Amino acid sequence: MHKKTIEHKLRKLKQELFDIGIPIPGSIQIVYRRCGKKNCWCQQSGSKGHGPYYIWYKREQRKLKTQLISAEDIQIYQEWIKNREAMEVLVKKIVELGALYAVDFNNTKINSKKVHR
């Protein structure tokens, strides 16, 4: 790919990155839990248990942390997670283009050295 093309693509991708909203780590899981009380309905076989509970799982300093999210906030949290995923895809593309640029940069120098010999 031509140097100018790479520069142009990099600018576009970085602009896209700039326009992404709030990014958050982790994922949301929907869980049902049995409470452990002997006579509770949730102990019956076939019962999923209490819930649904929406749990945000995220890793902080290598520890898995959880946070309960209210049902009404689920969509916004999922959107924030999608923002982070989109951001990661863009960063990957940007770095790949950076690598192409650097390879080209290096080849140009090597070729020009050969020419001067």
Residues within the interface to Zn ion (CB under 5 A): 35, 40, 42
Question: In this complex, which beta carbon is closest to Zn ion, that of residue 9 or of residue 50?
Answer: 50
Distance CA 50, CA 46 (A): 12
Smallest separation, CB 47 to Zn ion (Å): 8
> Which stretches within 1-117 are classed as H helix?
3-19, 74-116
Angle between helices 3-19 and 74-116 (to 10 degrees): 160
Tell the smallest beta-carbon distance from residue 38 to Zn ion (Å).
10
Smallest distance, Zn ion to C-beta of residue 34, A = 6
Between 42 and 87, name the residue whose CB sits nearer to Zn ion: 42
Based on CB atoms, which residue is closest to Zn ion, 24 or 42? 42
Q: How far is the CB of 63 from Zn ion (least distance, A)?
A: 29
Residue with smaller CB distance to Zn ion, 44 or 75: 44
How far is residue 22's CA from residue 42's CA, in Å, rounded to a whole number?
A: 37
φ, ψ dihedrals at 77, nearest 5°: -65, -40
- Nearest residue to 76 (alpha-carbon basis) of 9, 23, 34, 5: 23
